[in-house]
Amino acid sequence: MKGSVVVTGGSRGIGRGICIQLAKTGYSVVVNYVNNSDAAMETKRQCEELAIDKNQRFVALKCDISDTSTHNQFVQTVFNEFDSLDALVNNAGIAPRQRDDVIQMSEKSFREVMDVNLVGPFFLTQRFAQEWQKRETSTQKHIVFVSSISSTMVSTNRGEYCISKAGISMAVSLFAARLASEHINVYEVRPGIIKTDMTSTVIDKYNRMIDEGLVPQHRWGYPEDIGKTVQALIDGSMPFSTGSVIDVDGGLHIPRL
Ligand code: NAP
């Protein structure tokens, strides 16, 4: 059996894809969610079905990542549940409730997106790093942040989302530099256009744009594309890399003429 991993927002979409890939390759997984307990239980069920070792364990655990006052309880629960925790995947995230022009976007929407996508993952990562420090283990740990192509690519009708993801990119650099000497590697996985609930409202628009050649590989990305990348990182496939950005976008990020 491999180690244990916490995946925030593991109930649906990309997070579920990550949980399933980890389950299939021998990891135990904490499936975090905020509202959707049925979806979290379904991820857990699929993980159990696909597990390859009878000692693997799967736990669905509610925590609103944006509410930092709940982090202590969450962290204590997961560290009590598993003897050793080997990785944190900061995946949970939201899009703005409505897409508004950057010169009209409300402060309420800005703060809401920032709290879930940036403030929550930043302080949760702090707590995990502190917990690992306390335990003074020399086993290699991994932290993966799921950012977005929007870290660098502008969408003027969801600026708050872009800013939150750009903030994640800097958080990755900061934590990677700080934690490298403590056997904790930190990575940014940067998805492009992925078929999930988050993109379901703009499916026609993206179908058209992909048909017209927006994505060099000419297809949508799927949660399993991200799952495979995250698993490779947590497996230790990039041991001499930290603070690295891995684009999982079919080539969307390549500037073209
Ligand atoms: P999704 O299908 O909407 O799923 C979002 C997940 O995050 C759900 O599991 C949800 O839990 C959880 N979540 C939301 N707010 C939370 C909170 N406050 N605390 C804990 N969990 C919370 O989204 P997705 O497309 O899979 O996106 C996952 C990540 O990938 C996000 O960070 C997103 O920004 C990023 N991303 C997505 C795309 C894309 O094209 N889809 C592209 C680039 C980056 P519940 O089920 O309980 O609601």
At 63-112, the pLDDT tens digits run 999 999 999 999 999 999 997 899 999 999 999 999 999 999 999 999 99
Q: What is the DSSP letter of 25?
A: T
Q: What is the pLDDT of residue 49?
A: 98
Where in the chain are the domains?
3-248
| Cβ of 53 less than 6 Å from ligand 1 | no
* Angle value at C-alpha 64, between 60 and 70, nearest 5 degrees: 100
82 CA to middle of ligand 1, Å?
24
Q: How many CA atoms lie within 13 A of 135 on its CB side?
A: 20
The number of the ligand 1 atom at minimal distance from the alpha carbon of 165 is: 34
Q: Whole-angstrom Cα distance, residue 59 to residue 74?
A: 12
Average pLDDT over residues 184-201: 98
| Cβ of 90 less than 6 Å from ligand 1 | no
Q: What is the pLDDT of residue 56?
A: 97
CATH second-level architecture of 3-248?
3-Layer(aba) Sandwich (3.40)
Q: What is the pLDDT of residue 84?
A: 84
Measured between its terminal Cα atoms, the distance across the chain in Å is 48
Please choose from 33, 119, 224 the residue to mutate so as to test ligand 1's pocket, defined by most ligand atoms within 8 A of CB: 33
Q: Name the token pair of 118.
A: 């940036």
pLDDT at 137 over 80: no
152 CA to middle of ligand 1, Å?
19
What are the start-end ranges of the H helices in 101-202? 107-114, 120-135, 159-179
Average pLDDT over residues 107-123: 98
| Cβ of 119 less than 6 Å from ligand 1 | no
193 CA to middle of ligand 1, Å?
13
| Cβ of 198 less than 6 Å from ligand 1 | yes
Question: What angle, rounded to 10 degrees, do the helices at 223-234 and 13-24 form?
Answer: 50
User: What pTM was computed for the model?
Assistant: 0.98
pLDDT at 146 over 80: yes
